[in-house]
Amino acid sequence: MTTFTMRSISASVVVPPGIAVREVIEGVATLGSDVVDELEGDQTVEVSFRLEYSESAGRFEVAAFAVDRAESTIEISGAFLRTIRVHAIARVGMMAALPEWAHQLARLDQLRVRGGLRSFDDFALADDEALLLTGLLYRIAEISGDNPALAVAESIGLKQRTATNWIRRSRDAGYMTSTEYGVEMQELAVAIEPFWERFAQEAHYGND
């Protein structure tokens, strides 16, 4: 069984388009056989990591990562280390660095199964709102270590070529370089929340 404990050890920094993120996040995880193939039964290992936001890269970087076999008997060899999905573990910490309102947006790529936000008949945005949403989705995915262009395409429901065009227009409009859109992007997140809730209900009833 895998469990995580996260803590912030720094103040927030505002990054484009106006997202307040913690600059440094430390985490500890107990990893079981559900995520590490080399483990068997109830064997676990403990990992500790530190993530730091890089302004030049525009995303979080893994600054430290350590593995302790704790009470298990497995040897921490090079072969074993290669079985640990560092990015998947670090992404949990990256998500923890984001403000709570952004967590839903970071999961919108799950809407790809129904065609993205544009598959809702009542989803409509003005041109500037669409470009802000594009920049916001791109930056949240980038910060979280995901593929940002793919996140935009899958979340909104665009062909990759169209998504690339929207991303370029969003960047040209300043939505990926300015930090002045804090209020507007949170209002946009609130407006999109009902679509996420409807999708969650669809998924719930579909599994019943």
Interval 70-83: pLDDT, tens: 888 899 999 999 98
The rounded radius of gyration (Å) of the Cα atoms in the chain is: 19
Q: How many helices (H) and strands (E) does the chain have?
A: 7, 6
Statement: residue 208 has pLDDT above 60: no
Residue 64 dihedral angles phi and psi, to the nearest 5°? -155, 145
Q: What is the tens place of the pLDDT at every residue in 94-123?
A: 988 999 999 999 999 999 999 999 999 999
The whole model's pTM is what? Answer: 0.88
* H-run or E-run covering 57: none
Q: At 6, is the pLDDT very low, low, confident or very high (cuts 50, 70, 90)?
A: confident
Two structure tokens written together for 98: 């984001």
